[in-house]
Amino acid sequence: MSLAAVSRLESKLLLPTYERQPILFVRGRGVYLWDSNGKRYLDFLSGIGVNALGHAHPDIQAVIKRQAGRLIHISNLFFHEYQAELARLLIQISGLDRAFFCNSGTEAWEGALKLARAFARMNNPNSRKPKWRILALENSFHGRTFGALATTEQEKYRAPFAPLVPGVVFVKFNDLADLKRKCDSSVCAVCIETIQGEGGIHPVSREFLELARRLTKQTGALLVLDEIQSGLGRTGRHFAYQHYGVKPDVVTVAKPLASGLPLGAILTTERVARCMHPGLHGTTFGGGPLACAVAIEFLRNERQLLSHVRSLGKYFHAQLTALKAKHSSIQEVRGLGLMQAVELDSQELAKAVVRQLLQEGIIINRTHDTVLRFLPPYVIQKRHVDQVISALNKALAANSAKPAQKKERVPSKRREVHAHA
Ligand SMILES: Cc1ncc(COP(=O)(O)O)c(C=O)c1O
């Protein structure tokens, strides 16, 4: 079917939730994708951080072929060979004790919120003052389901669906005083994206994360980190919190875990896990044999790529920073490992740059209006970075001269950059 035919059908048959680029992709290999006209694209977005090993990775293909011929799904009423092994690997790299598997990022986050409420209830069974408030951060994004939406601060995602789940209070990003003021004995969880992704790649500050850890220990609340975008090797460590030396009580992961098959996970400590018992939480599909077998293979590869991600990330960050010296339209370069961003001074310019790169066969993405986001596969090489830098240089030069409608700047507190960035 042609692009025109698919697009016509979708416009009639699907809920109008997406504004897709007019491209019909038909295959991928490594860092490249090909469209229906045979045009090749360098993929610097990886399906929003999912295809971390690139497309059609031979190890992943082999596991899918083998496992699809044996067993795809059995439900969580029975055992299969791979869930415990995958849990063992995730526990080993996270320093936590137990795992729960689900199907997506938002579902992992929902489970983490339920865990926080159940843990608080278990520890205060007869309290007349239950711990039930959840602190989340301004500019956060945790997903689209109701609990996740309630902890997602950005108004554009929330407003049409109000009223949302009650009990959520937002703390100003990296604002120590605001966190101290709000983290009282009524709080059951402090929720943080270690690096805000959809919000424009903002790493939380070391001081803020350390304070959140201290306060939650004092009050008995849980420190819950969302590493759905930043986790599993994206920043050059297994988890972004490992750059900070802070250990959470709960962490959520998803995106790259099963290399494109839907799989998410909640990881937590033994102490927290005690609040769960059979029947309290569950899923039909989550943690099936196919997805888990693939995730085991993904983690085997991820381990071997961490130092490559760190060195390519440093190189990419340095090249982007050098570009900033040439283009006054670049306000800031932020990021860790292969989670990088360039903040421009206008959304029109950001749109034009993404469009021009796409015409040249390079896929990047715009988030938070003015931010160019880069989430390439972990297997990129220097030459791919050089190609993107050269295309960005050209696109910024060609489009900056045009009159640009300035976007109101976000207050400076939100823009504090972590020492590692
Ligand atoms: C930090 C973070 N949390 C949660 C989600 C939601 O994940 P999903 O789209 O798999 O539900 C995302 C998705 O972009 C994310 O970046």
* Tens digits of pLDDT across the chain (421 residues): 999 999 999 999 999 999 999 999 999 999 999 999 999 999 999 999 999 999 999 999 999 999 999 999 999 999 999 999 999 999 999 999 999 999 999 999 999 999 999 999 999 877 777 899 999 999 999 999 999 999 999 999 999 999 999 999 999 999 999 999 999 999 999 999 999 999 999 999 999 999 999 999 999 999 999 999 999 999 999 999 999 999 999 999 999 999 999 999 999 999 999 999 999 999 999 999 999 999 999 999 999 999 999 999 999 999 999 999 999 999 999 999 999 999 999 999 999 999 999 999 999 999 999 999 999 999 999 999 999 999 999 999 999 865 444 444 444 444 333 323 2
Residue ranges lining ligand 1, Cβ < 6 Å = 48, 104-106, 109, 141-143, 193, 197-198, 226, 228-229, 254
| The residue to which tokens 């865990």 are assigned | 115
State the pLDDT at residue 402: 54
Question: With contact defined as beta carbons under 8 Å apart, do 174 and 412 qualify?
Answer: no
From ligand 1's centre to the CA of 143, what distance in Å?
A: 5
Largest CA distance in the chain: 66
State the pLDDT at residue 125: 79
Nearest protein CA to atom 4 of ligand 1, as residue: 142
- What angle (nearest 5°) sits at the alpha carbon of residue 194, between those of residues 193 and 197? 60
Residue type, 260: G
- Crossing angle between the packed helical segments 289-326 and 83-94, to the nearest 10 degrees: 30
State the pLDDT at residue 401: 66
Q: What is the DSSP letter of 405?
A: -
Spatial CA neighbour of 291 closest among 326, 253, 318:
253
Question: With contact defined as beta carbons under 8 Å apart, do 218 and 194 qualify?
Answer: no
State the pLDDT at residue 415: 39
pTM confidence score: 0.95
From ligand 1's centre to the CA of 397, what distance in Å?
A: 33
Test site for ligand 1: of 107, 137, 255, 263, most ligand atoms within 8 A of the Cβ: 255
State the pLDDT at residue 411: 47
State the pLDDT at residue 124: 85
Which residues on neighbouring strands pair with residue 35, listed in sequence order? Answer: 25
3-state secondary structure of 132: coil
User: How far is the first Cα of the chain from the last one, in angstroms, to the nearest whole number?
Assistant: 45
